[in-house]
């Protein structure tokens, strides 16, 4: 069971949402949490990620950063850590389902709706339900769409890289609220949106050769389908599961090392997923692929400067290996340098 739940803005330090369920922890826990974060970054540096759990005077503080907001809960009990973080993630998904997007401005505009959700999701610290379908019939507050676009959206709307979460602007179809009685006719259309989000982690040797690379991906579905309609997703013929009996066949180009399906997915068909998605957003599948499947190559070069023994030239060349009709946006190259580097 949890004692408190609150949503904080890291930039301003404001408490956007606060709900005290058991009244057994101090009211100023949110301020204590922010002080703890500041102390951590001061001692370990701003680039070091803090631990997801703090203990302050016997109070456990569990938090996660979602879409640039801190979702935090407190407890004095020995709760299941995994269940608690799953609850925080589900609350964030519910806000996206009912409000359309998840951002600081959206939370401020829809505080009444979010409080109504929290009262149904948690009762005296005990989680009750996080099902969008079940909550639709008991939530009466109307969502307020965020008019101000704080985040620039392009074709890779939901790409998350290095912990940076990109939101979705309110005029995009995928960012529609699940329930909006004022515009009910618009939402009766059967629509479904599917995003494949992949994050690549790779290590290169000094000569540019790949030491290790790994793709962590997910298939996310946001459904506006009526009557729990069926969706069938067929994987490409050059893909195979790592647990397949065909894993030694050379005709498979890409092999899943690990994968996990949502409870609404029937994966018994060969290379086919049959999904009965609940209304709202779910992660239908998460997977991991290892191997040399990078869309780019890196060729680093370090040269001494003869006229200045204290200077070096670092040259990094990046070669893309995808077709010319495809483009990559928001690319950032980070070169770690020793602390003695002046500039």
Residues 43, 131 within the same domain: yes
Q: Assess whether 209 and 129 both reside in one domain.
A: no
CA dihedral 38, 42, 45, 48 (to 10 degrees): -40
Place of tokens 């190259």: 333
Please state the φ and ψ torsions of residue 66, each to the nearest 5 degrees.
-125, 125
Tell me: do 107 and 14 sit in the same domain: yes
CATH number at residue 64: 3.30.450.60
Q: How many CB atoms neighbour CB 84 within 10 A?
A: 21
Tokens coding 336: 């770690």
| 208, 93: one domain | no
How many Å apart are CA 321 and CA 117, to the nearest integer? 46
The sign one gets for the Cα dihedral 220, 222, 228, 232 is: negative
Considering the domain architecture, whether residues 273 and 191 belong to the same structural domain is answered as yes
Claim to verify: residue 123 and residue 189 sit in the same structural domain: no
196 and 100 part of one domain: no
CA–CA gap between residue 108 and residue 128 (Å, rounded): 25
Same domain? 127 vs 25: yes
Tell whether 84 and 186 lie within a shared domain. Answer: no
Q: Report the distance separating Cα 28 and Cα 15, nearest Å.
A: 10
> For residue 70, what are the domain limits?
4-136
- Output the pTM of the full model: 0.68
For 68: left if phi > 0, alpha if psi spans -120 to 50, otherwise beta; the answer is left
Helix (H) / strand (E) containing 153: none
Same domain? For 127 and 201 the reply is no
CA atoms within 13 A on the CB side of 176: 21
pLDDT in tens, the chain (343 residues): 899 999 998 878 889 999 999 988 988 888 889 888 888 888 887 777 889 999 888 899 999 999 889 999 999 988 899 999 999 999 999 998 898 888 899 999 999 999 999 999 999 999 999 988 888 888 888 888 876 444 433 333 444 333 444 433 444 556 778 765 444 444 456 788 888 888 888 888 877 788 888 889 999 888 887 776 788 888 776 666 555 544 444 444 577 788 888 888 887 766 778 888 887 888 888 988 887 778 888 888 888 888 888 888 888 888 888 888 888 777 777 788 888 888 7
106 in a structural domain: yes
Whether 315 is in a domain gets the answer no
193 lies in a domain?
yes
Into how many domains does the chain fold?
Answer: 2
207 within domain boundaries: yes
Q: Which of 72, 101, 136 is the last residue of a domain?
A: 136
| CA–CA gap between residue 173 and residue 191 (Å, rounded) | 9
Q: Is 71 in the same domain as 125?
A: yes
* 15 & 132 share domain: yes
């Amino acid at each position: 069971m949890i004692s408190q739940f609150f949503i904080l803005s890291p930039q301003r330090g404001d408490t956007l949402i606060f709900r005290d369920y058991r009244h057994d922890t101090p009211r100023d826990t949110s301020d204590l949490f922010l002080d703890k974060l500041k102390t951590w970054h001061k001692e370990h540096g701003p680039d070091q990620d803090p631990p997801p759990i703090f203990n302050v005077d016997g109070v456990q503080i569990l938090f996660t950063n979602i879409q640039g907001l801190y979702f935090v809960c407190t407890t004095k009990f020995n709760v299941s850590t995994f269940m608690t973080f799953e609850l925080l993630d589900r609350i964030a998904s519910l806000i996206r389902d009912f409000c359309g997007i998840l951002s600081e401005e959206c939370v401020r505009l829809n505080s009444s709706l979010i409080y109504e959700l929290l009262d149904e999701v948690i009762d005296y610290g005990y989680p009750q339900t996080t099902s969008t379908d079940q909550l639709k019939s008991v939530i009466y507050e109307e969502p307020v769409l965020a008019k101000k676009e704080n985040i620039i959206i392009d074709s890779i709307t939901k790409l998350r890289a290095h912990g940076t979460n990109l939101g979705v602007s309110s005029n995009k179809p995928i960012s529609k609220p699940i329930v909006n009685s004022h515009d009910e006719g618009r939402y009766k259309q059967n629509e479904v949106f599917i995003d494949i989000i992949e994050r690549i982690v790779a290590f290169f040797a000094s000569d540019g050769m790949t030491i290790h690379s790994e793709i962590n991906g997910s298939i996310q579905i946001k459904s506006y389908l009526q009557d729990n309609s069926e969706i069938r997703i067929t994987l490409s013929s050059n893909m195979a599961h790592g647990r397949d009996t065909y894993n030694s066949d050379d005709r498979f180009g890409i092999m899943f090392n690990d994968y996990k399906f949502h409870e609404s997915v029937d994966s018994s068909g060969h290379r086919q997923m049959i999904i009965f998605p609940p209304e709202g957003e779910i992660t239908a599948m998460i997977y991991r692929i290892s191997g040399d499947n990078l869309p780019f190559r890196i060729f680093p070069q370090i040269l001494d400067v003869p006229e200045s023994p204290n200077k070096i030239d670092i040259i990094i060349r990046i070669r893309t290996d995808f077709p010319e009709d495809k483009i990559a946006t928001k690319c950032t190259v980070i070169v770690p340098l020793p602390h003695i580097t002046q500039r």
